[in-house]
Chains A and B, each alone.
Chain A
Amino acid sequence: DIKMTQSPSSLSASVGDRVTITCRASQNINIYLSWYQQKPGKAPNLLIHAASRVQSGVPSRFSGSGSGTDFTLTINSLQTEDFATYFCQQSYNTPYTFGQGTKLEIK
């Protein structure tokens, strides 16, 4: 199975900050990576797919990059509603493994 490792596991930031979350795959997964945002008690929400394609309806302050084994999710100018937990997921093959999550908290 492909192991997905996110860093950091938690992050404190302020409104207006720029933050970057990293996801590393245990093997080459090309660009086959998605990012999801999850708020407490809610279902996840797709932000980015194919490493860098922003899902329709997602604010432009969210961006993704990377290929191979190293990927990043960047949020520019953090808004209050962005404080949540973020997960990466590979779709290179089954099982579609997720990273362990990065909890973004208000400083």
Chain B
Amino acid sequence: EVRLVESGGGLVKPGGSLRLSCAASGFTFSSYTMNWVRQAPGKGLEWVSSISSSSSSIYYADSVKGRFTISRDNAENSVYLQMNSLRDEDTGVYFCAKWMGPATGTGRIDYWGQGTKVTVSS
């Protein structure tokens, strides 16, 4: 059974930092691209970042580029999101998500974690 368990969320002041973690199990983690997707309270889904299986390809949404860093540790079956210079608009639930298929084309998110809540507020 595929499991994705996020942790590291919490309350942080504007300008602060948080590091989110996602522990994966139930599949060969080192073979799959992983993503972070977020959802502001009462709003829709926003793709945040993607990292390929070997970390050779990394992509970010413009809204987080230069502030967030995605990384992974295949030995630990984990993916991370380092979030710096946090803003009020970064508030939301952050989902870790497994990507199936090619990076572009017929790829899709086939499994999601339950999310970790990030609140940026003074």
Bound together, the chains give a CA A87 to CA B39 distance in angstroms of 12
Assess whether B108 is in contact with A97, with CB atoms less than 8 Å apart: no
Identify the closest chain A residue to B57 (Cβ).
Answer: A94
Q: Please tell me if A91 contacts chain B, counting CB pairs below 8 Å.
A: yes
| CB nearest to A95 among chain B residues | B61
- Residues facing B in A35-75 (CB within 8 A) are 36, 38, 42-46, 49-50, 55
A22 at the A/B interface (Cβ < 8 Å)?
no
Q: Is the CB of A50 within 8 A of B44?
A: no
B104, A43: Cβ atoms closer than 8 Å? no
Do A94 and B59 touch (CB < 8 A)? yes
Question: Are A98 and B59 in contact (CB-based, < 8 A)?
Answer: no
Residues of chain B within 8 A (CB-CB) of A95 are 47, 59, 61-62
Interface of A is mostly: loop
Q: How many residues of A contact B (CB 8 A)?
A: 28
Most chain A beta-carbon neighbours within 10 Å: one of B108, B109, B112, B113: B108
- Please indicate which of the listed interface residues A42, A91, A93 has the most CB atoms of chain B within 10 Å of its own CB: A91
Give the residue name and chain of the B residue nearest to A4 (CB): B44
**Contact A96 B44, beta carbon cutoff 8 Å:** no
B76 in the interface, Cβ–Cβ < 8 Å? Answer: no
Q: Which residues of A contact B103 (CB under 8 A)?
A: 94
Residues of B within 8 Å of A89, CB to CB, are 45, 47, 108-109
Determine the chain B residues whose CB is within 8 A of the CB of A96 once the complex forms. 35, 47, 50
Q: How far is the CA of A1 from the CA of B46 in the complex (A)?
A: 13
> Can you list 21 A-B contacts (CB < 8 A)?
A1-B62, A32-B106, A34-B108, A38-B45, A43-B95, A43-B113, A44-B95, A46-B110, A50-B106, A89-B109, A91-B101, A91-B104, A91-B106, A92-B104, A94-B59, A94-B103, A94-B104, A95-B62, A96-B50, A98-B44, A99-B44
Besides A55-B110, A95-B59, 6 new A-B residue pairs in contact (Cβ under 8 A), listed by A number: A43-B95, A49-B106, A49-B108, A92-B105, A94-B47, A97-B47
